[in-house]
């Protein structure tokens, strides 16, 4: 029995050693550990242009990526971007697969129970993009019809709660969701208004109707770390405050979003500097 017990104990220790959530990993890597490894792992979208996407050269680009590059630079490390789907943003943190999520992560009370959010760097509401030939100007128009959304998003929770008569067609990836809209499998698509407005500009047969461009409450977008990782959270919050002093996120907007939204677009309608809404 003693020998059997030792075998069980050894197996348990081996599993613990291999698990992403080791005793130290339960709260994520510290800043010192990240610097020692010389790499920070950041989860971003790979298909949500212009915020996080992979370009024709296989390089990550977008508003979130611009921020991630600066974080790595100021830490003095390289960055490894890890593609993530909307529904997996919490999981990649709780399992220790990444140090940080920068993937258009809307702050909600439910998510804040599972991860720690840093200060916000962007503000959004929901929007609906639909064909110009059947333009949606009020969500109620979609009662009994089909709205396309990505799983694990604010749009999914909002429309499930507030518009139960709308049929939701759900996809894991944003690219799949937009292809479904292009194929006519839904009457509209909802996600952050910042994204649907940008997508409609690139797809002129579609538009975001007045009344469908700011749905629900104004929410904030923030980076997130593993629950309890106060060391990295404090560093990130301080970084955001310092970046605000140089209007970094306005520079980010100019570099990644101005060409999408146009010369007359108002950066202040989206950008948050220094974590101050």
Between 36 and 5, whose confidence is greater?
36
- By mean pLDDT, which of 4-8, 174-178, 246-250, 258-262 is the weakest? 4-8
- Interatomic CA distance for residues 197 and 265, integer angstroms: 11
- Interatomic CA distance for residues 42 and 142, integer angstroms: 36
- Interatomic CA distance for residues 55 and 42, integer angstroms: 17
Per-residue pLDDT of 61-115, as tens digits, reads 999 999 999 999 999 999 999 999 999 999 999 999 999 999 999 999 999 999 9
What is the architecture, at CATH level 2, of domain 24-124+220-265? 3-Layer(aba) Sandwich (3.40)
Q: Is residue 22 pLDDT above 50, yes or no?
A: no
* Residue 27 pLDDT level (bands cut at 50, 70, 90): confident
Structure tokens at 92: 């990649």
Give the pairing type, strands 115-131 and 188-192.
Answer: antiparallel
Per-residue pLDDT of 203-237, as tens digits, reads 999 999 988 999 999 999 999 999 999 999 999 99
Per-residue pLDDT of 107-121, as tens digits, reads 999 999 999 999 999
Predicted pLDDT at 1: 45
According to CATH, where is 3.40.190.10 located in the chain?
Answer: 24-124+220-265, 125-217
Phi and psi for 47 in degrees, rounded to 5? -140, 25
Predicted pLDDT at 14: 44
Mean pLDDT of the chain: 91
Neighbours of 14 (CB within 10 A): 10
> What would the CATH number be for the domain defined by 125-217?
3.40.190.10
Average pLDDT estimate for 123-141: 97
């Amino acid at each position: 029995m003693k020998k059997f017990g030792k075998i069980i104990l050894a197996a348990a220790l081996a599993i613990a050693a291999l698990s992403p959530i080791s005793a130290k990993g339960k709260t994520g890597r510290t800043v010192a550990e990240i610097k020692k490894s010389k790499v920070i792992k950041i989860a971003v979208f790979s298909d949500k242009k212009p915020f996080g996407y992979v370009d024709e050269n296989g390089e990550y680009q977008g508003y979130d990526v611009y921020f991630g590059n600066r974080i790595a630079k100021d830490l003095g490390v390289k960055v490894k971007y890890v593609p993530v789907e909307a529904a997996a943003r919490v999981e990649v943190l709780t399992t220790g697969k990444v140090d940080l999520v920068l993937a258009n992560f809307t702050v909600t009370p439910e998510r804040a129970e599972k991860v720690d959010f840093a200060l916000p760097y962007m503000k959004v509401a929901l929007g609906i993009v639909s064909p110009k030939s059947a333009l949606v100007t009020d969500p109620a128009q979609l009662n009994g019809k089909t709205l396309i959304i990505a799983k694990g998003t604010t749009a999914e929770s909002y429309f499930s709660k507030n518009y139960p008569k709308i049929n939701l067609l759900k996809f894991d990836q944003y690219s799949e969701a937009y292809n479904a809209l292009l194929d006519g499998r839904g009457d509209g698509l909802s996600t952050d208004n910042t994204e649907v407005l940008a997508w409609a500009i690139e797809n002129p047969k579609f538009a975001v109707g007045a009344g469908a461009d700011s749905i629900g409450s104004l929410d904030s977008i923030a980076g997130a770390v593993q629950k309890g990782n106060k060391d990295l959270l404090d560093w990130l919050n301080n970084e955001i405050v310092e970046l605000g002093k140089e209007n970094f996120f306005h520079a980010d907007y100019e570099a990644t979003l101005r060409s999408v939204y146009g010369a007359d677009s108002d950066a202040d309608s989206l950008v948050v500097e220094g974590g101050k809404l």
